[in-house]
Every structure is written in structure tokens, then in C-alpha cells.
Amino acid sequence: MRRELSDKALHSEFRLTVEKMSGQNLSDCYQCGKCSGGCPVLPDVKHSPNQLIRMVQFGLADDVLSSESLWCCTACGTCNGRCPMGVDIVRIMDTLRSLAEDVYKPHGALEVWTFYQSFLDCVRQFGRLNEIGLMGGYNINSGRLWTNMIKAPWFILKNKLTVSPHTIKRIDRLRRVFERIEQIEESK
């Protein structure tokens, strides 16, 4: 893939947005590739972490934000631990995911996106995560109804999951917190 690099591309608004939101200076990355060398999901992705950062450096917003690779990240932090320049790559990935969420909702990553949403819906409703609720919510919302059903007998036999959700006392306050954050993020 050959692209013309202009001054405009190198100082794109997209790059500035990512830098501002993540608090990271993208010029710190000199593409040594240590982040990708240790990345556990490298076999599953099209774009490695250092490639994604390179694409941001070049202002390739569409290519980055539509990349399914963003959603393969487990946020394990191996990249952060090994970056010789101390770049918080996980924070950059978080930033890219939240930008991708607005633009490419949820391009090529329905399952991961649905999992996070089901998780947070449950927290919003009860204040604590209920694992049965999460699994059920995930299977229904993602349309993958049989995910982990083969494991269900084990969960039941081993009494691994509590069925009743734990609701916190100050759930009203927590719902206000969720609403406030939604308002702030929507107004951005």
C-alpha cells in the first residue's frame, strides 16, 4: 500500500485527538516493535500495536478506527511493560476503541463490543456484576446463544455461579453517575 505523506497527514486532527485523549506523545514511538513482539494476540490481528500507532502517526483515521485488531486486544499490558519509551499503549488502544465506537460502531467486533456492553449494563442495574446475568445478556445480545453452554453443567454442579444478583444500597447514586458520564461524553 503506497501513500503520499503530506505535512497535513503528519499533523492531522486525528493524531492530535488521540494524543489529547490518551495523554501520550505519539512522537515518542520510534517503531522499535517491542510492543508487537510480546503481544499475545499477534497471531489473530491484521494490524499489530506498532502498526496501529504508525497509522495514527500518519493520520490514517479510517484505517485505524475500522481495524478489527483494536478489538482483539486483551489489555494485558505486555506492550506497556516493554516499551522503551514508556508509552502507555493500552491507553492509546482504549482511546482508539472509544473513538471507533462512535464512528464504526461496532465494526467487525460485535462480540467484544456486546460483551463490554452487557457487562456495564449489569453493573448499571445492580452495582455489581452478576456472572449468570452477564453470560445470558451476552448470549442474547450477541445472538450467539450457545456460547459456553457446553460448560453449563459444570457451573451448576460446582455451584460456581450465584443466581441472585447483589444490588448495592446506593444504586440511585450509581445510576446518576452513569447518566452524568453519558451526558459528558455525548456533549464532546
Pick one of 148, 149, 152, 156: the residue that binds other proteins (CB under 8 A). 148
The pair phi, psi for residue 152, each rounded to 5°, is: -55, -45
**Cα 32 to Cα 137: distance, rounded to the nearest angstrom:** 41
Smallest distance from the beta carbon of 166 to other proteins, in angstroms?
A: 6
Residue list 114-143, contact with other proteins (CB under 8 A): 114-117, 119-120, 123, 127-132, 135, 138, 142
Which regions of 74-121 does DSSP assign to beta strands (E)? none
Q: CA triplet 38, 25, 28: central angle to 5 degrees?
A: 55
Closest among 132, 133, 49 to 91, alpha carbons compared: 49
Of 10-18, 27-35, 47-55, 97-105: span binding other proteins (CB under 8 A): 97-105
**Cα 34 to Cα 54: distance, rounded to the nearest angstrom:** 14
- The count of residues interacting with other proteins (CB under 8 A) is 63
- Check binding of 97 to other proteins (CB under 8 A): yes
Pick one of 26, 34, 41, 54: the residue that binds other proteins (CB under 8 A). 41
- Check binding of 88 to other proteins (CB under 8 A): yes
Kindly tell me which of 7 and 86 has the beta carbon lying closer to other proteins: 86
**Cα 60 to Cα 47: distance, rounded to the nearest angstrom:** 13
Kindly tell me which of 9 and 19 has the beta carbon lying closer to other proteins: 19
